[in-house]
Structure 1
Amino acid sequence: MGAKTSKKNRQVPGFEDPAILASETPFTVSEVEALHELYRKLSSSIVDDGLIQKEELAFALFRSTNRQNLFADRIFDLFDVKRNGHIDFGEFVRTLSIFHPRTPEAEKVQCAFKLYDLRRTGHIEREELKEMVSALLHESDLSLSNDIIETIVDKTFREADINGDGKIDQQEWKEYAAKNPALLRNMTLPYLMDITLAFPSFVMHTEAEDSKLAG
């Protein structure tokens, strides 16, 4: 990237040196630069302010700006590390790196735990698990009865709540994840191994735009 582009990038809220971000994540400098193009696209999709708002991330991921989408809210909270209501470039790259195939499994386990710990209490309660299971089923267009969802929650707690205190702590979650690797299936995005300006599929773009970017 040229000096002119770099100067422009430094004016973007939350912009950080690609070399620094590359040193802290599995991404290379060129991949971080490609991620910045993706970031710029997302951050200007609804409000062109250089920051990714909740509606912009929800629309990119789910083609919806519905604020009542619990799963979308949890993904946004995961990226919004500073808890200021938006995602800057540094947050975007560091959080996305968790889903990189080369990221240690321990980090993915911890990240998944945060998704289910809705109230940030340091443990997962039964109602939180039920809410997330329901939200995940909804995003998958699956409709199960409340009885079946309760059965799923019961089974999970029987296996994960080792000390029987009615909640799952981080160590219990770690042991449960080790016995149930499918739990982390969605915590790895294979295409992060090969980032181009036209990636990834969940980002809003047309075939014409892809051809222009790849050209």
Structure 2
Amino acid sequence: MDFSSSSLDPRSSLSIGEKLCFVFIPFIGLFEALVYSLSGCFNVQPPKKKIYSTFNDIIVLARNSPFTVNEIEALRELYKKLSCSIIDDGLIHKEELRLALLRTTFGENLFLDRVFDLFDEKRNGVIEFDEFVHSLSVFHPATPLEQKIDFAFKLYDLRQTGYIEREEVRQMIMAIMSECGTQLEDDVLEAILDKTFKDADADKDGKIGKEEWKEYVVRNPALLNYMTLPCLKDITTVFPSFIFNTEVEDILWQLPGNHKL
């Protein structure tokens, strides 16, 4: 992919939405890495601590997410392996997420910090299993667009002010490009920022509010391409060697109004 000034020049034939899509495409690679890299953990002995969800918990998670019971069980196995990769306590720490995503336990990464913060919904410094499932469900193909738009907004709202500011977009683009080993020339970066805020900042107050962001994304749907991971549609096919507990499936079949299985 060519990120030279000529390919991103605002006078080119590509729309600004397409240009920004190219800039943010590395996101999807990192999230796919989270799912696929965990498959390599299965030569590790399972953790001794057993603090994972019960059958009833799994049923509740399935009923409140786009995942089936078997898929929740698959995610639970992935969670177990990830949560014992460094600290064997049955919880995902930032270092363990960094290892899964970036293959290293060292260094700072703005993108990883934001992902961890959003996954850590209880703000207790770790990712618990229900948070893991809830956050990954945002990237499921069946998840409503509204949830994806909201998650993406929070991802860019670095200071958590309820607005996306120009400097936050600049920092995120620079962090992604740095992670990819690529740099944008200053004039190209400024052109992207100028055009983005011209199109998205409807009230011209120098920041993008939630409604402005929603309207902007609706006009430029390619911006949310990275918010859908097709591999989550049936996580059990990604790891075909899994053998699932049929007792959970039998319980769920007995619940009224269930159409998942």
Distance in 2 (alpha carbons) for counterparts of 1:76 and 1:93: 13
Alignment size in residue pairs: 196
CA contact (8 A) 2:166 2:207 kept: yes
Select which of 121, 129, 133 maps to 1:89: 129
CA contact (8 A) 2:50 2:90 kept: no
Match of residue 51 from structure 2: 12
For residues 130-166 of structure 1, the C-alpha deviation after alignment (integer angstroms, 9 at most, x for no partner) is 1111112223332112332222111110110010000
CA contact (8 A) 1:34 1:197 kept: no
What amino acid does structure 2 have at the position aligned with 1:21?
Answer: L
Match of residue 215 from structure 2: 175
3-state SS of paired residue (1:41) = helix
Match of residue 141 from structure 1: 181
Identity over aligned residues, as a percent?
57
Distance in 2 (alpha carbons) for counterparts of 1:66 and 1:169: 34
What amino acid does structure 2 have at the position aligned with 1:194?
Answer: D
Select which of 156, 164, 180 maps to 1:116: 156
C-alpha root-mean-square deviation of aligned residues, in Å? 2.2
CA contact (8 A) 1:108 1:184 kept: yes
Segments of structure 2 that go 5 or more residues without pairing to the other structure are 1-46, 244-261
CA contact (8 A) 1:37 1:197 kept: no
CA contact (8 A) 1:55 1:67 kept: no
What amino acid does structure 1 have at the position aligned with 2:160?
Answer: R
Match of residue 197 from structure 2: 157
TM-score where L is the length of structure 2: 0.70
Evaluate the alpha carbon distance shift between residue 14 and residue 51 of structure 1 in structure 2; reply closer, same or farther with a 3 A threshold: farther
Q: Give, in angstroms, the shift of residue 83 of structure 1.
A: 1.1
3-state SS of paired residue (1:196) = helix
CA contact (8 A) 1:59 1:65 kept: yes
Match of residue 51 from structure 1: 91
For residues 58-83 of structure 1, the C-alpha deviation after alignment (integer angstroms, 9 at most, x for no partner) is 11112122341001111111101111
**Residue pairs, 1:184-195, within 5 angstroms:** 184-195=224-235
What amino acid does structure 1 have at the position aligned with 2:91?
Answer: L
Segments of structure 1 that go 5 or more residues without pairing to the other structure are 1-7, 200-209
CA contact (8 A) 2:137 2:143 kept: yes
Match of residue 29 from structure 2: none
Distance in 2 (alpha carbons) for counterparts of 1:35 and 1:13: 11
For residues 160-181 of structure 1, the C-alpha deviation after alignment (integer angstroms, 9 at most, x for no partner) is 0010000000000001101111
1:78 aligns with 2:118: yes
CA contact (8 A) 1:13 1:51 kept: no
What amino acid does structure 2 have at the position aligned with 1:87?
Answer: I
What amino acid does structure 1 have at the position aligned with 2:141?
Answer: P
What amino acid does structure 1 have at the position aligned with 2:106?
Answer: N
Distance in 2 (alpha carbons) for counterparts of 1:94 and 1:9: 25
- Structure number with larger C-alpha Rg: 2
**Structure number with higher relative contact order (C-alpha < 8 Å, ≥ 6 residues apart):** 2
Q: Give, in angstroms, the shift of residue 14 of structure 1.
A: 7.0
Distance in 2 (alpha carbons) for counterparts of 1:98 and 1:196: 18
TM-score where L is the length of structure 1: 0.84
1:41 aligns with 2:87: no
Distance in 1 (alpha carbons) for counterparts of 2:93 and 2:101: 13
